[in-house]
Structures are given as structure tokens and as C-alpha cells.
Structure 1
Amino acid sequence: MTAPWGHYARYNRLANETLYEACAALSDEERRRDLGAFFRSVHGTLNHLLLGDRIWMTRFEGGQHPSTDLGAVLYDDFTELRAARVAMDARIERFVADLPRAFAAGTIRYLNNSGFTSEDPLDVLLPHFFNHQTHHRAQVHTLLSQLGRDPPVLDLHRVLRPNPA
């Protein structure tokens, strides 16, 4: 596993498991309530996060992802969304487990969602990938507070502890 990517992939999975557990306690109406967030609701933000991960993983694996509305709802059903999240997190962990050290020294060329061709260094895109996940989990964390729920602890050092306290 190429450090630190393995730690970030593991944290991503564990943080998502924790966050989805908190979101599962919401009613469907609460998850879909427009709270004024960029992707409006908990459900919209979770869908965006999965979409972003699909786009970047496809690019990292050498493919091209079709341009799409970044607010697209991939899964209308929360149970299906959660299952897709679990599958994506497993895909991310497998990917970084086999990542050669030289990977981050390269670049990728891709068509962005605005239709422009970009080429960026992977030593910038890999941190962006994990930062994007954290950024949107933080939005869901805030939305849980707005819904009157206690959001879970998602600090990296606490989530990665063998016995979280």
C-alpha cells in the first residue's frame, strides 16, 4: 500500500461507514429536505460525493467518465446509495493497495465537466480526491446538525484509532 494513500482510503471507508450509519437514522423526508446546501440535502450531497469518486476513480484507472451534472442523483433509494458507497470504498482501497510508488509522479489528461481538456499532476489530484471526500462529508455533518441530530466524530486520527474513544 502506497503511504499515505492507504491510510486515506481506509479513513475514507471508515468515515463513510460512520456517516452513513448516522444518516440511516434519518427519515427519508429528513435526508431529502432542502437545507440550502450546495447539493441541497443530505441525500443530494451523498449522491454528489459518490459521483465525484466515480469520476476520479475512472480517470485514475485510465478511463474517461462522461460529463454529467454534478448534482445528479445516481441512486434515489438510500439503501441502494449506501450499497454503492460500500462498493466504491472497496474499489478505492483495492486501487491504492496496488498503486505503484511512481504513480503519483505522473499526470493525467482528462475532459472536465465543463468540457475543457485538462492535464494535472497526480501528486495534486490524489490529495484533491481525498480532500473532496472530506469536504463533502463535512457538509453532511453540518446538515445532520441542522436536522437536530448529533453528527458523528469524523476526525482522521480518531477514526483510524484501533479502539476509538
Structure 2
Amino acid sequence: MIDKGYVVTMARYNAWQNRQLTPIVTAMDKDALDLNRGAFFGSILGTLNHLLWGDRMWLARFGADVDVPARGDTTQLNPTIAAWSAERFQVDGRLTIWASALRNIDLAGDLTWYSGGEARDVTQPMWLCVSHFFNHQTHHRGQVHAMLTAAGQAAPVSDLVFMPPDGAA
């Protein structure tokens, strides 16, 4: 089972990764961001939108103060990288607040939610859902990293062990 320390560390890792990605993708033109690069969610912006959509969905399930996104095409959440960047910053802040307020006991027990994809209620251990949440982020950011590299961009370092200490730049 995971604990609060893991959750806080992974929330910091998420924010660090997004802070590194933002200047790279905001400097790219819309055509490059929207180009279907053969990834599961197509484009860089489509994948970033799906990831943001998933973060909002899971945070809402965890009881964080975020709006629940509409189902629909998760790749179309934000039409521009500027809109994505503003929302990404806000959601990362909400994630940090949620992680900071978490107690170890909050990771015990089960979480039950209605899954639109499965069209049924699903129940899983809370710690497993939180682990999945962070794994989902890492997985899709890895896809973005690969697409950026293929597009000739300097993708940022993504190794967790090289994350600056808390409070460092």
C-alpha cells in the first residue's frame, strides 16, 4: 500500500513535469501540436488534453475541489495550448492541495464510482486508484515526450530521481 508521502511526492513530480513541458509546447505552432503523430490520442495537444481530462476526473472522484469534466472526446478538452496551459496550472494546484491535506487513513478502504467507459459502478481499493492516477499521468507524459522528440523538440528530463528537492527551482 502507498502512503501520504508517496502521494505528495508524485503530486510534486506531476507539477514539475508539467512546468517543464509548458514552455516547450507553448512555443510550438498549432499545426505541430495538432498533427496526428500516430499516438493513441493522436496529437501532442490531444494527448495533453486527455491527460488533463483524466486528472480532473480522478481528482473529482477523490473529493478534490475540481469541476467534473463532461464525458465526450477527451482530446478536445481545450482547443488551444494557451487554454490547456491555464487549466493545467489550476489543476496542478488543486492536486497539490489535495495531496497535502491527505491522511494515510484516506488511502484505506475502497472507492466506488460510476465508470462511463464501463457503463457500470466500479469498486477498487483507494490506494490502487491513486496509484493508477499517477501511473496514468506518467504513461501519457511519456507519449508526449516521444512525440516531442520525434518533432525535433528538446523534451525535458522525466526521471523521477532527478526531480529537484522540494522548494528548489
TM over 0.5: yes
Distance 1:86 1:62, change over 3 A: closer
Q: How many residues align?
A: 164
TM-score by length of 1: 0.91
Mapping of residues 36-115 of structure 1, within 5 Å: 36-61=38-63, 65=68, 68-69=71-72, 71-114=74-117, 115=119
Name which of structure 1's ranges 152-161 and 123-132 shifts more when overlaid on structure 2.
Answer: 152-161
User: Which stretches of structure 1, 4 residues or longer, exceed 6 Å deviation after superposition?
Assistant: none
Q: Give the 3 Å change call, closer, same or farther, for CA 110–62 of structure 1 in structure 2.
A: farther
Extract unaligned runs of 5+ from structure 1: none
Task: Give the unaligned 5+ runs of structure 2.
Answer: none
Residue 135 of structure 1 pairs with residue 139 of structure 2 = yes
CA contact (8 A) 2:4 2:102 kept: yes
Q: Is the 8 A contact 2:64 2:98 kept in 1?
A: no
TM-score relative to the length of structure 2: 0.89
CA distance in structure 2 between the partners assigned to 1:18 and 1:52 by the alignment:
20
CA apart distance, 1:161: 4.0
Instruction: Give 1:117's aligned residue.
Output: 121
Checking the alignment, whether the CA contact within 8 Å between 1:43 and 1:78 is kept in structure 2 is: yes
Q: 1:61 to 1:24 in 2, by over 3 A?
A: same
Contact 2:53 2:69 in 1 (8 A): no
| Structure 1 position 71, deviation (Å) | 3.0
**Fraction of identical pairs, as percent:** 33
Alpha-carbon RMSD across the aligned residues, in angstroms, is: 2.2
Secondary structure at 2:113 match in 1: strand
| Equivalent pair of 1:67/1:112 in contact (CA under 8 Å) | no
